[in-house]
Chain A
Amino acid sequence: MNRLTTDICGIQMKNPVMVASGTFGFGKEYAELIDLNLLGAIVTKGTSLVQWDGNPPERICETPAGMLNAIGLQNDGVDSLINDKIPWLQSAAADTPVIVNVVGKTLDEYAEVARRLDGVPGVAGLEINISCPNVKHGGIAFGTDPSMCAEVVRAVRKATSLPLIPKLSPNVTDITAMARICVDCGADALSLINTLLGTAIDIKTRKFRLANITGGLSGPAVKPVALRMVWQVASAVDVPVIGMGGIMNADDALEFLLAGASAVQVGTANFVNPQSAIEIAQGIDDYLVTCGVEHVDEIIGTVQS
């Protein structure tokens, strides 16, 4: 039997290891390097109503055990996703659900992208990006203000019958408050965490390393913060939690599952080793066999204090 089958609000996955938005393009970029059909799910790059240019370079900067990025959600817009990228994924990765990460500058944009994706074959669910720290309008503004957060989740909920997964920002005082608001407004599951706001300075040139000045921190450096937040949110809400933040290997992923995540996403690790997500799924399976556990569901949230 398959010990790893996972159901996140009706999205059926062969394992609980997904690839995170912004780290995996639209799948095609990695198709020659890994078997996309072995992934739990693919979460696409953030997709807006129309094409977005993104931020000027420098956009990335390596930091101790991590990296900062300020890409600014450069993407070709939802029409290109529907006409080209989703059909390609349907043929190349038919066994892997595709979750579209949705971004907007206004409530109407979020709702319109969601409405256009409703009923599109090959779209299994929507991850609502209310937590991107790198755009001037939208993004994190919706994820750090409780009333705006409520409005955007309600607006998207009205626009689609697809499973709705808001992606939460860690750049808040109490992430459980934002989590509860999302659930009250119709979220079917929650993704967390997005990146932590940070910056870096080049002491030789005395300039910021990123053109945007600030960027989002990801990688192993953020894992303890992410794990704490996943545990807090999983304890506070009744919907499935998808945990992410610095997961590099199966041990990291297992920590998130034990903390209460029903599934995990692998992000920055894809840059280091494109095989990461597949190797992590295998590593979780090995752990279950070693521990004599019949199904991954049995270990979720079983951390003891």
Chain B
Amino acid sequence: MSSSVRQTKCRILQHECDGNFRRLVFEAPEIAALARPGQFVHLLCGGTHDPLLRRPLSIYRAEADQVAVLYEIRGRGTALLAEKKPGDLVDVIGPLGTGFTLPDSPTQQIVLVGGGIGAPPLSFLASTIAKSFGCERLTTMIGAQTAEKHICADEFRGLSVDDNACLLATDDGSCGHSGLVTDILRERLKSESLISPMIYACGPTPMLKAVALIAKEYHLKCQVSLEAKMACGVGACMGCVIKVHNGGGCKYVRVCHEGPVFDAEEVVWDE
């Protein structure tokens, strides 16, 4: 549960374009101080009646008095957001949601598995882990459609102790392993170059489901960050639910409040 949340009109400090991706940095000292990896901010993109609702974006960096998000233009909301310029104000609610739980022990191996636009929150998590525990036991595995769509690769490389600690995959083979990022995870576990790691994953649902299955097979703890369409973002409307196991049955819980990060074994994947 988020300990605290703010709504503020934040001044945009940087808004950079990289193909279809945008890196937005805004001034938000209170949100930056509260933000934890895996949490998100809820942004008013246009202030128009159409599109109407805010857009939830995971936090990519929260340092000093600044918060950054990395997003892809997917529809009219993000297209409106992309029009904002440095100096403009953006109405932000955050930080929201329950983020990643950091490992208990600095001696545990840690694997981050990311796909596409799921990389930014893992980049925030990687830098937080590096500050607390160092990089020695951190391995990152990131997949994307093409080399150009690897949006945080340099940061992950910078936090890896050697070439084996940062592994990339692309669907078209233009960079790293040609195929799925989960192929790499499975191979590393099979060859025992990773032993009982804690897994953190963020990316498309099919990737998360595959990671969850591997984690179950190897009896590994695994946290996944899920995406959902949201209205309120604060737990009021019950619009963004997913199904989780509950004793012998199931129940619906809110991605914006109980999530977006869940234990992989808690999630009902078969739908």
Which of B7, B239, B252 touches A60 (beta carbons < 8 Å)?
B239
- Min CB distance, A277 to chain B, in Å? 13
| Interchain CB contact under 8 A, B52 and A67 | yes
Q: Is the interface of A mostly helix, strand, loop or mixed?
A: loop
* With known contacts A23-B236, A32-B4, A71-B239, A272–B229 Cβ distance under 8 A: no
Q: Which residues of B contact A271 (CB under 8 A)?
A: 53-54, 231-233, 237
> Is A282 in the interface zone, CB < 8 Å from B?
no
- Per-residue A-contact encoding for B68-103, CB less than 8 Å = 1, 0 else: 000000000000000000000001010000000000
| Interchain CB contact under 8 A, A59 and B238 | yes
Question: Measured between alpha carbons, how far is A273 from B237 in the docked complex, in Å?
Answer: 14
| Interchain CB contact under 8 A, B229 and A61 | yes
| Interchain CB contact under 8 A, B241 and A30 | no
Which of A25, A45, A59, A219 touches B241 (beta carbons < 8 Å)?
A59
Question: Measured between alpha carbons, how far is A67 from B54 in the docked complex, in Å?
Answer: 12
- Per-residue A-contact encoding for B260-271, CB less than 8 Å = 1, 0 else: 000000000001
Question: Measured between alpha carbons, how far is A27 from B240 in the docked complex, in Å?
Answer: 18
Of B4, B93, B232, the most chain A CB neighbours within 10 A belong to B232
- Min CB distance, A77 to chain B, in Å? 13
Which of A25, A60, A64 touches B235 (beta carbons < 8 Å)?
A25
Q: Which residues of A contact B4 (CB under 8 A)?
A: 32
Q: Which of A48-66 contact B (CB under 8 A)?
A: 53-54, 56-62, 64-66
| Interchain CB contact under 8 A, B238 and A54 | yes
| Interchain CB contact under 8 A, A69 and B52 | no
Q: How many residues of A contact B (CB 8 A)?
A: 35
| Interchain CB contact under 8 A, B44 and A272 | yes
> Is B29 in the interface zone, CB < 8 Å from A?
no
> Is A96 in the interface zone, CB < 8 Å from B?
no
Q: Which residues of B contact A248 (CB under 8 A)?
A: 49
| Interchain CB contact under 8 A, B234 and A30 | yes
> Is A220 in the interface zone, CB < 8 Å from B?
yes
Question: Measured between alpha carbons, how far is A67 from B6 in the docked complex, in Å?
Answer: 25
> Is B243 in the interface zone, CB < 8 Å from A?
yes
* With known contacts A33-B7, A272-B52, A60–B236 Cβ distance under 8 A: no
- Min CB distance, B66 to chain A, in Å? 22
- Per-residue B-contact encoding for A124-158, CB less than 8 Å = 1, 0 else: 00000000000000000000000000000000000
- Min CB distance, A247 to chain B, in Å? 12
> Is B228 in the interface zone, CB < 8 Å from A?
yes
- Per-residue A-contact encoding for B169-198, CB less than 8 Å = 1, 0 else: 000000000000000000000000000000
Question: Measured between alpha carbons, how far is A248 from B50 in the docked complex, in Å?
Answer: 12
Q: Which residues of B contact A69 (CB under 8 A)?
A: 231, 237, 239
Residue on A with the closest CB to B231?
A: A271
> Is A274 in the interface zone, CB < 8 Å from B?
yes
Question: Measured between alpha carbons, how far is A59 from B257 in the docked complex, in Å?
Answer: 16
* With known contacts A60-B229, A60-B239, A60-B240, A268–B91 Cβ distance under 8 A: no
> Is B51 in the interface zone, CB < 8 Å from A?
yes
Q: Which residues of B contact A67 (CB under 8 A)?
A: 52-53, 231
Chain A interfacial positions (CB closer than 8 Å to B):
22-25, 29-30, 32-33, 45, 53-54, 56-62, 64-67, 69, 71, 74, 219-220, 248, 268, 270-275
19 contacts between A and B (CB under 8 A): A25-B235, A29-B236, A29-B257, A33-B93, A45-B238, A53-B251, A56-B252, A58-B229, A59-B241, A60-B229, A60-B230, A62-B229, A65-B50, A67-B52, A71-B239, A268-B52, A270-B232, A272-B52, A273-B44
- Closest A-B pairs by Cβ, 6 of them: A25-B236, A60-B239, A29-B236, A65-B50, A271-B231, A220-B49
